Chains A and B, each alone.
Chain A
Amino acid sequence: MGEAIESILDKYRRDSSQLVSMLQDIQAVHYWLPKEALIEVSEGLDIPLSRVYSVATFFKAFSLVPKGRHQVTICMGTACHVRGSPRILNRVRQLLDIEPGETTSDLKFSLDTVNCLGCCALGPIMVVDGEYNGCVGVGDVPKILESCD
């Protein structure tokens, strides 16, 4: 992990104003931000750990808990809401038995919500592992989840 982080810090020329981008790149490696990673960033940039922790907990994009193998994201934007996204979210919650921000105990699925992906014409949208599923109906949810191994 150390090497990956060092190279990411170098990519941004150790400029601490690029902290958000750096954390995103680091999260892309492990799908979450482990404590050790944040400590390394704080030391590598010579900024207080409290500041790194503040930023990591402020922005929704960052996860400080491990993620599952499959990432399920439901869009909760207004257009999707108006087309019934809460029902989609409820169905996923029922089937996976977790709340947004959580991971199933077998580390298979992580669930998150996002406040608008900008595909509003195709709502409700359910993203699984980066693949967008548009115009999702409640009946489609079990099939989509089952297709993940």
Chain B
Amino acid sequence: MVNLWIDDHEVKAKEGSTILEVAREKGIHIPTLCYHDAVSSAGACRLCMVEISKNAHSRLVTSCLYPVEEGLVVKTNTERVINLRRVIIELLLARCPNVKVIQDMARELGVEKTEFELEDKDCILCGLCVRVCEEIVGVSAISLVNRGNKREAATPFYEASNSCIGCGSCAYVCPTGCIKVEDVGDKRIIPRWKAEFKLKKCRVCGNYFAPEAQLDYLRRELGLPEEEFEVCPNCRVIDNDVSYEEV
């Protein structure tokens, strides 16, 4: 365990944790956009930057990546930090003026408008979709392609990916909500990835509940028999003796 100061609180933290993890545990608010506790941290949005000092020398670091140290002094709301956050959110506002989460955060940080020429993008390139697809789902159907201003999250060749299983995890973690998952009848469409999936019908209630591709993937990965994937989560009941029982 190490002892450190965050704002005016003296805290004890496990070695190896990041400033952000510790701050969240203690209920100290640090804004983030590209952070999600299910996946690795990228340090891409820079909103979580805080001012640290050790031995009279202070600098800004991303709290989502900086590991706690004995005697570290962390300040989450200095003028330096706030000025930086304001510029960052203004830059994001200029890029995505119509994205609600950006508008809200800008307002929260006291940024009313921007003088930069407005674009109209819906993606802030946080990379969460890519990381969740790689680290949690394990199919890496999408990646960040091109570089610099032309960077974007996409499937190879911007075509429907053979690896995508239509699980929608990317949409789940996306902070701006720009990845739409549309379930219509027996089809799931994820327009952003040009993906279309046939949905599986529940043997019990008759509702379409998951893409067949996703269930096939789980079946292969988990090595479970096909019958396990015939019934939707609502109709499954966990019993002491059997894994699923039809209601």
Q: Touch between A and B in complex, CB under 8 Å?
A: yes
* In the complex, chain A residues whose CB is within 8 Å of the CB of B144: 54
How many A-B pairs fall under 8 Å by CB?
A: 36
Q: How far is the CA of A38 from the CA of B145 in the complex (A)?
A: 14
Please tell me if the beta carbons of A57 and B163 are within 8 angstroms of each other in the complex: no
Q: Which of B95-152 contact A (CB under 8 A)?
A: 134, 139-147
Q: Is A51 an interface residue (CB 8 A)?
A: yes
Interface string of B163-176 (1 = CB under 8 A from A): 10000000000000
Number of B residues whose C-beta is below 8 Å from A? 16
The majority secondary structure among interface residues of chain B is loop
Please tell me if the beta carbons of B147 and A49 are within 8 angstroms of each other in the complex: no
* In the complex, chain B residues whose CB is within 8 Å of the CB of A49: 156, 161-163
Q: How far is the CA of A49 from the CA of B140 in the complex (A)?
A: 8
Please tell me if the beta carbons of B140 and A58 are within 8 angstroms of each other in the complex: no
The majority secondary structure among interface residues of chain A is helix
Q: How far is the CA of A35 from the CA of B139 in the complex (A)?
A: 20
Please tell me if the beta carbons of B146 and A50 are within 8 angstroms of each other in the complex: no
* In the complex, chain A residues whose CB is within 8 Å of the CB of B76: none
Q: How far is the CA of A57 from the CA of B134 in the complex (A)?
A: 19
* In the complex, chain A residues whose CB is within 8 Å of the CB of B156: 38, 49-50, 52-53
Please tell me if the beta carbons of B157 and A53 are within 8 angstroms of each other in the complex: yes
Please tell me if the beta carbons of A54 and B143 are within 8 angstroms of each other in the complex: yes
For B140, B143, B156, which residue has the most chain A Cβ atoms within 10 angstroms? B156
Q: Is B155 an interface residue (CB 8 A)?
A: yes
Can you spell out 10 A-B residue pairs with CB atoms less than 8 angstroms apart?
Answer: A48-B134, A48-B163, A49-B162, A50-B141, A50-B142, A50-B143, A50-B155, A50-B161, A50-B163, A53-B157
- List 3 A-B pairs, minimum CB-CB distance, nearest first: A48-B140, A50-B143, A53-B156
Given contact pairs A57-B145, A57-B146, A57-B147, enumerate 16 new A-B contacts (beta carbons under 8 Å).
Answer: A48-B134, A48-B139, A48-B140, A48-B163, A49-B156, A49-B161, A50-B141, A50-B143, A50-B161, A51-B140, A51-B143, A52-B156, A53-B143, A54-B145, A58-B145, A58-B147
Q: Mark B residues whose CB is within 8 Å of A.
A: 134, 139-147, 155-157, 161-163
